[in-house]
Structure 1
Amino acid sequence: MHIRTFVGVLAFAAAATVAAPSGAFAADTADSVWDDVWTGSGMSVSVKEYGDIISVCDTTTNGHTASAWVYAGPDLQYRLEATGDIVGSCATARASSGGSFDLPEDEGITVIYNGDGGGIQTAFFVNDQR
């Protein structure tokens, strides 16, 4: 009788352990975390307006580092560059770092990005409009 109870508790604990990661993963999907996600050749750029979080990630080993330049109006605020040409490497900036990373509210932000050493792409958002 004690063995059945132990096996039942063990089975319940295993089921709870397996279920937890899928719930955590769902909370981290782009739709629930990021306000905007743009993809380019060999890279992606993700934006969360609240907290001014911008992340650039390398998505392809193509001999080029993923980079993004962030502008408020005509002024360059900062540049982000993922480390090397490593798939999955990311560089992230956030307002809590202070200085130029704290983007102005209710202003247009332009992100120029490139991940393949060729043509650049441009995206635009109004910061904290949501």
Structure 2
Amino acid sequence: MFSNCGGKIKNLAKIIFWFGLIVGVLWLIVSLAQYANGREYLEYSSAYGGSSSYSILQASGDKAYTGIVGIYYSIILLASSIVTAWPLYGFGIIVTHFENASEISMLEADTNIQIEEIISTEEIRHTEEAKNEEL
């Protein structure tokens, strides 16, 4: 769960982007069709006062008004999915960079420990050789 966090964040950003894009485009198409079917009856919608005697006109106007609202919200969905996905993907890149840097620093630390062990064993061997030469 806690390994490869940067990759998971980047995948989440991709999912948010593609989900928002697909749903937003589909919603926009449906809303445009709904608006186009009843735009001439828009003045009879409930939002503009309605029509008490012509309920069919009012229903058609309500569908057109719902289409307009759907157009606005689908555009907002498209924009918000793009605006949300970019910084989230960038954050995933940053996390991946620091994960890689952390792994490199741990490898360097392991290498330094191994070098120190080699140097200390060499020093011990040299001191023992020096003691043996003195005897």
User: Which structure has the highest strand share of the two?
Assistant: 1
User: For the pair shown, which has the larger CA radius of gyration, 1 or 2?
Assistant: 2
The TM-score with structure 2 as length reference comes to 0.30
The TM-score with structure 1 as length reference comes to 0.31
Q: Return the structure number with greater relative CO, CA threshold 8 A, min gap 6.
A: 2
User: Which structure has the highest helix share of the two?
Assistant: 2
